Amino acid sequence: MEIGVDFAQLPWSMGDNVMKSMRVAVMILLAFLGVGAVVGAVPMILWPFKTQWNLLPVSVLQYSPFHSFLIPGIILLVSNGLLALWVLWLVIARKTSFELWTALQGCVLLGWLVVECWMIRAVGGAHYFYGAIAIALIVLGFAMRVSHVHPERDLA
């Protein structure tokens, strides 16, 4: 007896409309994440000791290894800004393994959130919101992957 889940045998159907809806949802989430991360990272990089909008004082970094927002800004820009926009391009162009890249971006975002909360020793509403986005990207990425493993459920 084999233990595990065979997604091909699940009773629910992932028809074309559902798969297209998931792909559109992923594109919206990635665009929101990518643009938001770029917009958030640029002031951190340009004004590393004082953000342009004065949202966070540098003192929030007191328990982190950073003394300014420069390195966190660069990491945010690359990991959740540029990567998300690149994955968005993969999804739009339906490049090979775009589903796995989508799930990976969700994992990167979740990792960013965990490390950020640990370093600043605080959790806010935005962390829960972006955590939900991360989980959605992971789940949708793997759900779309299941569709591509089983061609009868392809996005067409």
Tens of pLDDT, residue by residue over 129-155, are 999 999 999 999 999 998 765 544 444
Residue numbers of the domain that contains 143 = 15-149
Domain count, the chain: 1
- Region 80-93: mean pLDDT is 98
| C-alpha dist (Å) from residue 148 to 14, 16, 36, 56, 144 | 11, 12, 29, 43, 7
Does residue 60 fall inside a structural domain? yes
Domain-located, residue 140:
yes
Total Cβ atoms within 10 A of residue 88: 24
Once rounded to an integer, what is the mean pLDDT over residues 17-41? 95
Q: What is the mean pLDDT of residues 62-79?
A: 96
Higher pLDDT, 146 or 112: 112
Within a domain: 58? yes
Q: Is residue 68 part of a domain?
A: yes
pTM of structure: 0.84
Backbone angles phi, psi at 49, to 5 degrees: -100, -10
In a domain, 56, yes or no: yes
pLDDT single digits (tens) 119-133: 999 999 999 999 999
Domain membership of residue 2 (yes or no) is no
Tell me whether residue 8 is in a domain. Answer: no
Which pLDDT belongs to residue 50?
Answer: 74
Query: What is the arithmetic mean of pLDDT over 12-18?
Result: 66
Residue 4 within any structural domain of the chain: no
